Amino acid sequence: MKYDYDVVIIGGGLAGLTAALHLAKNKYNVLVIEKNQYPNHKVCGEYVSNEVVPYLDSLGIALPSAGAASINHLLLSTTDGNHLKAELPLGGQGISRYTLDDILYNEALSNEVDFLFEDAAQVLFKYSFFEVVTGFSKSITSRIVIGAYGKRSTLDKKLNRRFIATKSSWMAVKSHYEYSDFPKSQVALHNFQGGYGGLSKTESGAVNFCYLASYESFKKEKNIESFNSHVVAQNPFLKEFLANAKPLFEQPLTIAQISFEPKSIVENHLLMCGDSAGLIHPLCGNGMAMAIHSAKIAAECIHDFFTNGSENRQVLERRYLKQWQKAFKKRLWYGRQLQRLLLLPKLSSYALSLIIKYPAIINKIIKATHGQPL
Ligand SMILES: Cc1cc2nc3c(=O)[nH]c(=O)nc-3n(C[C@H](O)[C@H](O)[C@H](O)COP(=O)(O)OP(=O)(O)OC[C@H]3O[C@@H](n4cnc5c(N)ncnc54)[C@H](O)[C@@H]3O)c2cc1C
């Protein structure tokens, strides 16, 4: 039987685009199904760990030449303004998703990846191949499907994934600001009651301010403006920022129902990549690197599947699961513990004072939640 594609990728965010590019460079016939056009802004802290820079270079994506801000130190503060500054051992790049996803998209196009701008509505596994059906009833067949559709999608319901049944109590807000006083080499993480926010510069010189908050704390206020002035601005660093920074978006972007629950890595034979496989707490600043890294693992396993002669799907799925868990399982666990600590005001102040006294702890935390350069 002839299939339309070797690989169909559902979702053209970081994980989907990276996997598409990697596979296309190995001469596979790849289709990305993405529901939105490029470029577009996404809710994200926009700090990319340097661990993925060498791998992105190898795919022809050079972040520094896209104007990314080189970031090498961290400012961390608690709600009461207790704070510390620390060097980041590996550091990262400040680049907007608007630019980063668009660069990857254009590179994928140059490498002959096909794109279909529709909603993937259904995926059916038919023993040796897949049929993906879009919202406009287009039907596409392929040998492999990668699920790279992010944190939450109607597909999760259709696939009956376990995490979707648990209500999530997290939401996020993001906007770009003009604020020249913010150091280009810094990423800041500021705590407030029921959440925390990250600040860092992007390639355009704008400062990205993105925060995660619990519904519990948000619902007491009527809207973002009121939440910002009554809750977020309790942190003196954020108060100063909100008072002096000029918003560059007409309205902040928001997302809801953010789940940090463990997810299945292979679901109905789809290889899940990026946030579709699991989302690390944003305070670790590592979700984008994990999305890119998981795409690399998936692309390598798929290459092996097609070249080892047997095309054994069970071996492919086992290998992907094993390599994914080896790379990310511990990081996700540490991320969950850190988040718990940060959101208990008394404990987070105590933990921060400990870190101020023993700054080596911060390197240990970063090591536990980040990987080695790829
Ligand atoms: C508040 C917050 C702050 C963060 N800050 C950082 C940070 O500073 N650094 C960091 O490294 N990580 C951060 N992260 C994590 C990071 O944003 C994610 O880990 C990363 O975006 C994952 O990429 P992805 O490709 O898996 O998903 P996405 O980038 O979300 O891409 C998924 C794509 O799938 C598409 N899609 C969805 N459903 C369908 C469908 N049915 N059909 C077709 N297309 C579909 C979507 O349109 C989207 O383009 C943060 C996350 C949050 C919530």
What are the tens digits of pLDDT across the range 115-135?
Answer: 999 999 999 999 899 999 999
What are the tens digits of pLDDT across the range 272-284?
Answer: 999 999 998 888 8
Q: What is the DSSP letter of 203?
A: T
User: If you measure from the C-alpha of residue 2 to the centroid of ligand 1, how many angstroms do you get, rounded to a whole number?
Assistant: 33
CB 231 within 8 A of CB 193: yes
Q: Does 92 sit in the ligand 1 pocket, CB within 6 Å?
A: no
Q: Which range is least confidently modeled, 21-30, 61-70, 270-279, 304-313?
A: 304-313
Q: Does 282 sit in the ligand 1 pocket, CB within 6 Å?
A: yes
CB 240 within 8 A of CB 75: no
* Bond prior to 39 in cis (omega within 30° of 0): yes
User: If you measure from the C-alpha of residue 294 to the centroid of ligand 1, how many angstroms do you get, rounded to a whole number?
Assistant: 13
User: If you measure from the C-alpha of residue 15 to the centroid of ligand 1, how many angstroms do you get, rounded to a whole number?
Assistant: 8
In the chain, the domains with their CATH numbers are 5-167+258-369 (3.50.50.60)
Q: Whose CA is nearest to atom 12 of ligand 1?
A: 287
Distance CA 305, CA 321 (A): 14
The residue written with tokens 């993925």 in the block is 52
Examine the pLDDT at 57 and tell me if it is beyond 90: yes
Q: Whose CA is nearest to atom 35 of ligand 1?
A: 11
Q: Does 51 sit in the ligand 1 pocket, CB within 6 Å?
A: no
What are the tens digits of pLDDT across the range 225-236?
Answer: 999 999 999 999
Distance CA 282, CA 189 (A): 10
- Global pTM? 0.96
Examine the pLDDT at 348 and tell me if it is beyond 70: no
Q: Does 197 sit in the ligand 1 pocket, CB within 6 Å?
A: no
Q: Which range is least confidently modeled, 177-186, 207-216, 362-371?
A: 362-371
What pLDDT, on the 0 to 100 scale, is given for residue 244? Answer: 97
Tokens representing 246 are: 């000029």
Q: Does 17 sit in the ligand 1 pocket, CB within 6 Å?
A: no
User: What's the mean pLDDT in 146-164?
Assistant: 95
What pLDDT, on the 0 to 100 scale, is given for residue 345? Answer: 63
Query: Amino acid letter at 297?
Result: I
The residue written with tokens 């696939």 in the block is 159
Name the burial class of residue 239, with classes exposed (0-12), middle (13-18) and buried (19+) by CB atoms within 10 angstroms of its CB.
middle
Examine the pLDDT at 352 and tell me if it is beyond 80: no
Q: What are phi and psi of 37, to 5 degrees?
A: -80, 160
Share of the chain above pLDDT 70, in %: 98
Question: Average pLDDT over the chain, rounded to whole?
Answer: 93
What are the tens digits of pLDDT across the range 242-301?
Answer: 999 999 999 999 999 999 889 999 999 999 999 999 998 888 879 999 999 999 999 999
User: If you measure from the C-alpha of residue 346 to the centroid of ligand 1, how many angstroms do you get, rounded to a whole number?
Assistant: 31
Pairing between strand 170-178 and 186-192? unpaired
Q: Which atom of ligand 1 is nearest to the CA of 15?
A: 25
